Every structure is written in C-alpha cells, then in structure tokens.
Amino acid sequence: MNSSLSLIQQIDAILPQTQCGLCGHRDGCLPYAKSIVEGENANKCVPGGQPVADALAELLARPKLTAEPSVWDIQSDGRPQRMKAIIREDECIGCTKCISACPVDAIIGSGKLMHTILTDLCTGCELCIPPCPVDCIDLVEDIQPIPNDEQRISEQGDLRNRYYAHIQREEKRRIHRKGPVVRAEIDTELFAQITQQSQALPTIEVVETPIKNPVIHDAKTTIELAKIRTQIKKLEKQLSVRADQNKQKQLNELQKQLSVLQGDAE
Ligand code: SF4
Ligand code: SF4
Ligand code: SF4
C-alpha cells in the first residue's frame, strides 16, 4: 500500500468515526485524515477532544495543540459529553429527510410514517437536526457508561462500516436521485481507494455519471426551438379539448421540424 494511504488509515483509526463534519470536512473523518496528511492541523476533531488531538500529534511527531472546543462539557475521559438524538415521534410528519442525512443509518421509518432513532447506533452527530422541517429532533446526554479503549475501537469499526455502507448506497442512488440532497458531496474516490485496501470494509465503487454529448445550441436555434415547443404545447392543449384536422396537421408538421432541428443540434 502506498505510504500516504497507510498514514491516512492510521490517522482515521484514531478519529471517532462520528462523521459529523465539525472538523470542517463535511464528508467525514477519512477526508479529514487525508487533509491532515497534507498538512492540516490535527486538533480539529471536536468530538475527539484533547485525547484525539494528542494521539494524532504523537503519531505524526508534531507539537501538541489545544483541541477545538466543544459546546458540551468534558467527560471524565477528556472527551466532550457524548449525545444522542431523539425524535419526538408524535410531531414527526414522516418526511424522511433525516434518513439520508444520518451517516450511520441510525434512523428507521418510511414516507408519511413516524420515524425512530435506533439509540444504540446514534452518535449524536446532529446531522439529522437541520433538515427536519418541523424541528422535532432533540439531543439528550448519552447516559451509557463511557467506553474503554477496546470498546471504543470496536465501536469506531462498526461506525466506519455503517458509514461506508451508507456511502455505497447513496452512490448507487446518486445518479437517479429525485429527492433533496441533504448530505455533503462525498469524495467517493478516496473512500473507494481505502476500501480496496481492506477486506473488512464494505467495498465502495464509484458510479460514473453517464455523459451525454454536450448540447450546444447557437442563439438562433435556441430561440427557434423554444418557439416551436411553445406552439406544440398550445396545439396539444387545443387538440386535447377538441379534435381538428388542420390543427393536427400543423402539430405533425411542427413535431417534424422540432426533431429535425434537434437532430441538427443535439
Ligand atoms: S468525528 Fe467529526 S470532527 Fe472528528 S474527524 Fe470525524 S467528521 Fe471530523
Ligand atoms: S440519528 Fe441524527 S444524531 Fe444520531 S447519528 Fe443519525 S444523524 Fe447523527
Ligand atoms: S426529518 Fe423530522 S419530520 Fe421528517 S421524518 Fe425525520 S424526524 Fe420526522
């Protein structure tokens, strides 16, 4: 494996895998790990707090920096208080926007039905809160015992897997997506590269967007096309109310003209 990819993975192994974007990398921990290798300061992971900033400084043999502060109090392990999101289910309108925002697929529900957060899986990343149109998601303190190092590594592994599976699913949907995009644009090539190095991670394949021949119309053709389309629409509307041989003839003629023009231009 190339040395920079290996270092990215070592850094990523230290990062909490909350995928919250608070470090400034909206598409998650791995892009921040890459940016650290490229020279960015290693103290920006907010949920990781001082322990993560120090562990990274040690790994990279860089001076220790004060970690970016969190809005939450600091727990006994030196990291900010862990949080969980909870949906006030009686207020939820089932719009599904929170589902695609959740990087670890911790929300279940379907269109027009009440949604629920699987509390064990929720990392409190807060990414589901802004897209909720009725503001029915609250954050509460996580009252579970603070994990030890071994538990944390295992939890991070699970979150990484869930996030990569989420990316793979989103990537497959990307081209045919009809609904709103509530997550950051994801650097799928970086994720794909990393998953090729590891059998433990769900493989991410980059789906190529089908490239159509670019349509370049000169101004005259564009105006002509617009005129013909408007006339066609008008005639179609009239013909849908009452049949008329002359109008039908005009419509056929215009459709022919349109396809000739499009054939020339597209
Ligand atoms: S946990 Fe959040 S702040 Fe920390 S590296 Fe990952 S995305 Fe960035
Ligand atoms: S449910 Fe909300 S807060 Fe919890 S992990 Fe998903 S997006 Fe983050
Ligand atoms: S975004 Fe809010 S209203 Fe929409 S499904 Fe999620 S919790 Fe319910």
Q: Specify the pLDDT at position 209.
A: 56
Judgement on whether residues 51 and 131 belong to the same structural domain of the protein: no
Judgement on whether residues 67 and 9 belong to the same structural domain of the protein: yes
Ligand 2 center to 103 CA (angstroms) = 7
Ligand 1 center to 104 CA (angstroms) = 13
Q: Do the domain assignments include residue 123?
A: yes
Q: Do the domain assignments include residue 133?
A: yes
Say how far apart CA 66 and CA 261 lie, in whole Å: 64
Judgement on whether residues 121 and 244 belong to the same structural domain of the protein: no
Per-residue model confidence as pLDDT tens digits over 227-246: 888 888 888 878 877 888 88
Ligand 2 center to 118 CA (angstroms) = 9
Judgement on whether residues 27 and 118 belong to the same structural domain of the protein: no
Burial of residue 210, with CB atoms counted within 10 A of its CB: 0-12 exposed, 13-18 middle, 19 or more buried: exposed
DSSP 8-state secondary structure symbol assigned to residue 50: H
Domain limits at 133? 83-141
Ligand 3 center to 181 CA (angstroms) = 15
Q: Do the domain assignments include residue 128?
A: yes
Judgement on whether residues 28 and 150 belong to the same structural domain of the protein: yes
Taking CA atoms only, the protein residue closest to ligand 3 atom 6 is 98
Locate the ligand 3 atom nearest the alpha carbon of residue 114 and give its number.
8
Judgement on whether residues 253 and 189 belong to the same structural domain of the protein: no
Judgement on whether residues 125 and 246 belong to the same structural domain of the protein: no
Judgement on whether residues 10 and 65 belong to the same structural domain of the protein: yes
Q: Do the domain assignments include residue 200?
A: no
Last residue within a domain, chosen from 100, 124, 141:
141
- Is 182 or 205 the better-scoring residue by pLDDT? 205
Q: Specify the pLDDT at position 257.
A: 87
Mutate to test the pocket of ligand 1, among 23, 44, 56 (most ligand atoms within 8 A of CB): 23
- The closest ligand to the CA of 109 turns out to be 3
The number of folded domains in the chain is 3
Locate the ligand 1 atom nearest the alpha carbon of residue 33 and give its number.
5
Q: Do the domain assignments include residue 204?
A: no
| Distance, C-alpha 47 to centroid of its chain | 19
- Give residues (CB < 6 A) around ligand 3: 87, 92-98, 109, 115, 131-132, 134, 136-137
Ligand 2 lined by 187 (C-beta under 6 Å) = no
Q: Do the domain assignments include residue 10?
A: yes
Judgement on whether residues 71 and 152 belong to the same structural domain of the protein: yes
Average pLDDT in the chain? 86
Judgement on whether residues 94 and 226 belong to the same structural domain of the protein: no
266: pLDDT strictly greater than 50: no
Locate the ligand 1 atom nearest the alpha carbon of residue 19 and give its number.
7
- Is 148 or 195 the better-scoring residue by pLDDT? 148
Least confident of 85-89, 91-95, 175-179: 175-179
Residue 130, domain CATH? 3.30.70.20
Q: Do the domain assignments include residue 29?
A: yes
Q: Specify the pLDDT at position 188.
A: 81
DSSP sequence for 165-199: HHHHHHHHHHTT--S---SPP--HHHHHHHHHT-S
Q: Do the domain assignments include residue 129?
A: yes
Judgement on whether residues 95 and 131 belong to the same structural domain of the protein: yes
Classify the phi-psi angles of 205: left when phi > 0, otherwise alpha if psi is within -120 to 50, otherwise beta: beta
Taking CA atoms only, the protein residue closest to ligand 2 atom 7 is 102
Q: Cβ(23)–Cβ(43) under 8 Å?
A: no
Judgement on whether residues 9 and 51 belong to the same structural domain of the protein: yes
Taking CA atoms only, the protein residue closest to ligand 3 atom 4 is 95
